[in-house]
Amino acid sequence: AQSVTQPDIHITVSEGASLELRCNYSYGATPYLFWYVQSPGQGLQLLLKYFSGDTLVQGIKGFEAEFKRSQSSFNLRKPSVHWSDAAEYFCVLGNQGGKLIFGQGTELSVKP
């Protein structure tokens, strides 16, 4: 079965602190993986994507993610969080057939 799990529904971090959002997937072949961000009342914006190649991918707004096949994970990281990063973050699995499967999302709050 194909699935995406984001274990953390809500995370709070202090501004300036580092961030890691977890994502685990289940898929029998090489996955396409994405992280999207949704600010309140807005649509979803792509942060970064992994198709193949280098397992550490860089995205916009200072985010990066590392693909670890052995752990079936694609965790999102940022070394120093800004108040404007408060939003909901979605990990997404893309299969060979074109379907995209969203995780449940992780809501990030940033403390001043």
Residues that bind another protein (CB under 8 A): 32, 34, 36, 42-46, 49, 51, 90, 92, 94, 97-102, 104-105
CA distance 70 to 60: 26
Burial class (CB in 10 A: 0-12, 13-18, 19+), 73: middle
Q: How far is the CB of 109 from another protein (least distance, A)?
A: 16
Using the minimum distance from each CB to another protein, give the nearer residue, 8 or 102.
102
SS3 at position 83: helix
Using the minimum distance from each CB to another protein, give the nearer residue, 41 or 112.
41
Using the minimum distance from each CB to another protein, give the nearer residue, 53 or 97.
97
Q: How far is the CB of 85 from another protein (least distance, A)?
A: 19
Q: How far is the CB of 44 from another protein (least distance, A)?
A: 4
DSSP type of residue 17: S
Q: How far is the CB of 98 from another protein (least distance, A)?
A: 6
E strand intervals along the chain: 3-5, 10-14, 19-21, 24-26, 32-38, 44-50, 56-58, 64-68, 73-78, 87-94, 100-102, 106-111
